[in-house]
A and B are shown apart, each in its own frame.
Chain A
Amino acid sequence: MTINYKLDAINEVRKFLWSELVTNKIFNETEYYSDNVATTIIPIIPVQQSPELNQFLSGKKHIVYDKINSSYEDNWLICNEQFMFTIYSVDISEINEIRNFMLDLFRRMDESARDMNAYPQISDKFKFHTIYIADITPTTPSEELQGFLSADVVLQVKYSRHITPNGRFN
């Protein structure tokens, strides 16, 4: 059986976050439909793709994410990672809304992880143990995107990937 090394915990967090943002009507999917590619572009984008999507996301609220660090401790089954989400919007109330929503969703340690694990679209190769907010910054005018405001939310995520009896990824 081929092991999928493309799977990454941050992508699973992103899927869950997007689903929750849409379900709670904080984002409207239809606003992010691209005629060029005939699909909805999820406005939670990795920092590496940010320049390519700047034009499409011009004036629209969106989130840019990146992984700060990743480490396995003595207990090598459990991975400890930090993810940074930078929220961009031209409207301060929209940033506050997303920030408060993420705070509500992700601050509850094992309860937040339980919600993630229960979300059906999360890969069954992962088991999340705890998620909590490591840092939130105030909303400030963005130096990167003119006219936008921005705020950062840093998540601390502990998870395991399912493994074979000899400890390799399953």
Chain B
Amino acid sequence: MDSSRLLIQAASGLERLMVGTKPGAIKDSNVAQISAFVYYQANVIAKLTTNTQFQNKFRKTIFDQINKDFPDYIDALARSKPKSLHHVYEWNKTGNEGFRLFKLKQISQQGLSFKLDYELLLSKSAVPNTKSKKKFIFAKKASVMEAGMPIRISPRSAERLVFEFGGTTVFMPKGASVVVKSPGGRASTNQFKLAYSRFFSGQLVNESIKRSGFQNIFNAGIGRALKVPTEIRKVQYTFSPGRIRSEADMALASSFGGSL
């Protein structure tokens, strides 16, 4: 049994102490009120980890920071090692944040945890070409180069391929195609995946989580939610457990709902 359920079960023992004593007996509000206090706070704490608003805010806060830090890390790596990571940027924009061809995405969420993966995006800019005015977009640049897949280039509208190689112009036979064994250079194969693993298996992701400031948000939120509502602070001889539970739910929703 998880600890939040245990806490709820233990706190339920207080319910009978919150109900007023029989008519005629000496009434003492202290026991009922203290019990209501403890019951309320136990409910807030127990329901915290299952509260949807809290879970959403927790995940969003951490994901947003990772989603900033990881691309920054890749940008810096790409500037230092352009041969390895040029393929995850638009042409001639290596390390430039506005031209990334990758993005992080959450692939599943459960409770306070979430799983991440990355996606290599399609290139939208034309392959640099100073010899011809024709534009060609190598859309799957990032994924093909990352996988180190060979590509076959065949003439589509022209009758033959003409290109420069080693300073000389090569005229291919009519209709013949060429195969580029490693379009991004061998240095780029699997390099994004390697950088991704390095970030997420090392200390960098922990740094990112720390920098997200989720602890501050958590502390401020839980502090607000634990503040006992006025209704319970009033001197009464009977408290409704159902109402206190609702108050706990509302306090959590108001502390962790809304935007950051």
Tell me if B27 counts as interface (CB < 8 A to partner A).
no
Q: Are the C-beta atoms of B211 and A143 separated by less than 8 Å?
A: no
State A137–B203 Cα separation when bound (angstroms): 11
Query: Please, how many residues of chain B have a CB less than 8 angstroms from a CB on the other chain?
Result: 23
The dominant DSSP class at the A interface is strand
- The smallest C-beta distance from B95 to any residue of chain A, in angstroms, reads 8
Interface residues on A, range: 20 to 34
Q: Which chain A residues in 116-170 approach chain B with CB under 8 Å? A: 133-135, 137, 142-144, 152, 154, 156
Contact flags (1/0) for B170-205 with A, using CB distance below 8 Å?
A: 000000000000000001000100000010001110
Contact flags (1/0) for A72-106 with B, using CB distance below 8 Å?
A: 01100000101010100000000000000000000
Of all chain A residues, which has the CB nearest B76?
A: A68
A68 contacts which of B72, B82, B83, B84 (Cβ < 8 Å)? B72
Tell me if A58 counts as interface (CB < 8 A to partner B).
no
Residues in A with CB closer than 8 Å to B72 are 68-69, 82
Spell out B's residues near A (CB within 8 Å): 68-69, 72-73, 75-77, 79-84, 187, 191, 198, 202-204, 207, 211, 213, 216
* Known contacts A82-B73, A143-B83, then 4 further A-B pairs from the complex at CB < 8 Å, ordered by chain A residue: A66-B80, A68-B75, A84-B80, A135-B198
**Can you list 30 A-B pairs with a CB-CB distance of less than 8 A?**
A47-B80, A50-B80, A64-B80, A66-B76, A67-B76, A68-B76, A69-B68, A69-B73, A71-B211, A73-B213, A80-B211, A82-B72, A82-B207, A84-B76, A86-B80, A133-B203, A134-B204, A135-B198, A137-B198, A142-B81, A143-B81, A143-B83, A143-B187, A143-B191, A144-B82, A144-B83, A152-B77, A152-B80, A154-B204, A156-B207
